[in-house]
Amino acid sequence: MAPAKKGILERLDAGEVVIGDGGFVFALEKRGYVKAGPWTPEAAAEHPEAVRQLHREFLRAGSNVMQTFTFYASDDKLENRGNKLSFTGAQINEAACDLAREVANEGDALVAGGVCQTPSYLSCKSETEVKAILKKQLDVFVKKDVDFLIAEYFEHVEEAVWAVEVLKETGKPVAACLCIGPDGDMHGVSPGECAVRLVKAGAQIVGINCHFDPMTCVKAVKMMKEGVEKAGLKAHYMVQPLAYHTPDCSCQGFIDLPEFPFGLEPRILSRWDMHAYAREAYNTGIRFIGGCCGFEPYHIRAVAEELAPERGFLPEASEKHGNWGAGLEMHTKPWVRARARRDYWEKLKPASGRPLCPSMSSPDGWGVTKGHSELMQQTEATSKDQLKQLFDRSKSQ
């Protein structure tokens, strides 16, 4: 029997770098197992082999955390807008826990149970109702004995605090991530103040995930860190950004981009962008460094390779990757062998191959958030009339 693994807080307290995984919904959408729109994780029950394989790839790439594939797996979300599923929320959550545990056991990784924001909150349900929804997912995590918990992808710090309060009841370590940028949450609360509230609610790890590109997320976590330190509090920090460049995003991040979600390809970060990100995150004092939507296994591997000097080892998948492109020494063509050097890839400004496309977009700016009638969620499918109104409004922007 293997010796017990070190827990998440042990690792972070010891100053170790913990590498997260990448986002499952986008990766599995491209592989054909997740539907863009509802973004629900029923594949954990429907196609376990696909989910297991993605876990394994992230493990090989260097991830120390297998997040259960339970994003948007709250009952109110699973049933949102006519999303018909043949598995119950409990079945999906349980299957996800089993898969994460199975692969975590194949290496040095912990299992993190994850919850995220709920349609109930957007629809102005009460604190009690929202907490009850989150509690249902949590029951599965307790039963399956995950190693720690992550509340992530919250746009409103108020709901995130509620989530932390629920998660804390388990006694397990709790991490909390907002999906906000330097401008703060949807109610205008600054990153520093958000972090303070989360720490006070009991989160031992705070940070940012999704919605913005790596450098923007690191900047926002830096503001969180400054807020926490200024308040005389203490915390660990994490960041799990997009693998998409988002220089043109406003407060709601990539959701507002005209390219979301089916035209984001030209924005995908290269592995070299990931090196720069990992270094910047590390230098900012963040030690739990992972990814979200858009991350593929090779992006996580690049993070692990950049931080190999600090960690003392390379990830398993680096057996298939030469340091800074060194594998190209084995290429057939001499001019490609000439690219086998750090200097070349660090300086490259890659072309888009799209001369008819711009480099930045004007994000949508509907400016609606919790409380606006347009954000009320519903279980029945969006009707044709509702769609027509949306199209018309969209064209008049």
When asked if residue 375 is in the footprint of a second copy (CB under 8 A), the reply is yes
Would you say 124 is a known binding-site residue?
no
In the complex, the smallest distance separating the C-beta of residue 151 from a second copy, rounded to whole angstroms, is 18
Positions 238 through 267 that interact with a second copy (CB under 8 A)? 244-248, 255-267
When asked if residue 310 is in the footprint of a second copy (CB under 8 A), the reply is no
In eight-state DSSP terms, residue 138 is: H
Contacting residue, 56, 131, 172, 236, with a second copy by CB under 8 A: 56
When asked if residue 105 is in the footprint of a second copy (CB under 8 A), the reply is no
- The C-alpha angle 12, 17, 20, rounded to 5 degrees, equals 100
Please tell me the distance from the alpha carbon of residue 33 to that of residue 27, in angstroms, as a whole number: 9
Contacting residue, 187, 200, 230, 337, with a second copy by CB under 8 A: 337
Give the three-class secondary structure for 175: strand
When asked if residue 353 is in the footprint of a second copy (CB under 8 A), the reply is yes
Counting residues that bind a second copy (by CB under 8 A) gives 105
Positions 313 through 332 that interact with a second copy (CB under 8 A)? 316-317, 319-322, 325-332
Contacting residue, 13, 105, 359, 371, with a second copy by CB under 8 A: 359
- The candidate with the shortest Cα–Cα distance to 252, out of 238, 242, 262, is 242
In the complex, the smallest distance separating the C-beta of residue 63 from a second copy, rounded to whole angstroms, is 11
Identity of the amino acid at 208: I
Please tell me the distance from the alpha carbon of residue 207 to that of residue 225, in angstroms, as a whole number: 9
Of 153 and 162, nearer to a second copy (C-beta) is 153
When asked if residue 230 is in the footprint of a second copy (CB under 8 A), the reply is no
Residue 113 main-chain phi, psi, to 5 deg: -85, 135
Please tell me the distance from the alpha carbon of residue 130 to that of residue 354, in angstroms, as a whole number: 45
Of 11 and 321, nearer to a second copy (C-beta) is 321
Contacting residue, 271, 286, 289, 292, with a second copy by CB under 8 A: 271
Please tell me the distance from the alpha carbon of residue 250 to that of residue 136, in angstroms, as a whole number: 33
3-class secondary structure for 351-388? CCCCCCCCCCCCCCCCCCCCCCHHHCCCCCCCCHHHHH
Of 5 and 331, nearer to a second copy (C-beta) is 331
Annotated binding site: which residue ranges? 210, 292-293
Annotated binding site for Zn(2+): which residue ranges? 210, 292-293
